[in-house]
Amino acid sequence: MRLLTLSLDAFDGPVHTHPMLELTRIERGSGLRFIADTVEPFAAGDLVLVAPRVGHAWWTGRADRGPGAAAATVLQFHVAPVLDGLPEWMPTLGALLQERAAAWVIHEELARELGPALQALAGTERLELLGLGLALLARIAAPAAARWRRPLGTRALADDEPNELMARRVDQLLTWIRDHLHDELTVAAAAAQLHVSPAAFSRSFKRLVGRSFTDYVNDLRIAEVQLLLRRTDRPVTEIAAACGFTTLSNFNAHFRRRLGMSPRDYRRR
């Protein structure tokens, strides 16, 4: 188990996958959170538990970057198969990791309660960190805490997981999509990144990411719209155009389908 205390100008790392269970708390900053097939806005106080071998990244909006603008506390734990045989493991973390969710967003009330405990792990010795860290993770995974966890995304079954090379290529592609979000993104251009035909790309993308390329791009753009509606008073039409939507009717349809309300109603919440 290890604890990382990050202070950065921005969250801008690539989408990446690793074999560790990861608990991330955002101390400073806001932007978009990429986990598996989901994209959502995040802000300070955001607490998320990410399952092993799930692609993830946090990205700070261009207007919110600067010295020390982004900070996070990250707890990582390597889940060894031997743990499944421990009776103390299965009722909490073991049972949670048998779910298909890619991650779990922790409700803000529990996140506020656990935040100081996570920060207090800094500077603890390895054995103490292991004990306190596992106790904190077990608190999140306990059956009684289910109402404070929101499942996020879908994780592949072991037999369906891409091999390491394919997983790395998918992570690179998702990073490319993020970095070119304001450009005209087409299946043909994305397929060229992987050197495959558009038809083969479309089939593989849906199988590996869990949704079509077009749906993923639109969801990413809607998530950025959400962020700008929260953070600015710019007109809705201007925000939609800035996030890559070429027609207002198309934008409104996607927004309502994803969030169940109009952009103006979302801003008034």
Using one digit for the tens of pLDDT, what is the confidence trace for 168-209?
787 888 889 888 888 889 999 999 988 889 998 898 888 877
What are the structural domain ranges in the chain?
2-152, 162-268
Percent of the chain with pLDDT strictly greater than 90:
55
- Going from the C-alpha of 211 to that of each of 216, 217, 232, the distances in angstroms are 6, 10, 30
Tens digits of residue pLDDT in 93-130: 888 988 989 999 999 999 999 999 999 999 898 899 99
Structure tokens at 194: 């992987």
Query: Once rounded to an integer, what is the mean pLDDT over residues 8-33?
Result: 92
| Sequence-separated (6 or more) residues with CB below 8 Å from residue 14 | 57, 171, 172, 175
- Going from the C-alpha of 132 to that of each of 36, 129, 137, 186, 205, the distances in angstroms are 28, 5, 9, 47, 39
| Reported pTM | 0.83
Compute the distance between CA of residue 153 and CA of residue 39 in angstroms, rounded to an integer.
9
For the chain, the maximum distance between any two Cα atoms, rounded to a whole number of angstroms, is 57
Confirm if 102 and 61 have CB atoms less than 8 A apart.
Answer: no
Catalogue the E-assigned strands of the chain: 2-8, 20-28, 31-35, 38-42, 47-50, 56-60, 70-78, 103-106, 149-152
Asked if the model's pLDDT at residue 21 lies above 80, the reply is: yes
Asked if the model's pLDDT at residue 148 lies above 90, the reply is: yes
User: Considering the domain 2-152 in this protein, what is its CATH number?
Assistant: 2.60.120.280
| Fold of domain 162-268 | Arc Repressor Mutant, subunit A (1.10.10)
**159 vs 243, which has greater pLDDT?**
243
| Model confidence band, residue 159 (pLDDT cutoffs 50, 70, 90) | very low
Compute the distance between CA of residue 8 and CA of residue 68 in angstroms, rounded to an integer.
5
Asked if the model's pLDDT at residue 158 lies above 60, the reply is: no
Strand partners, 70: 8
Half-sphere exposure in the Cβ direction for 123 (13 Å, CA): 3
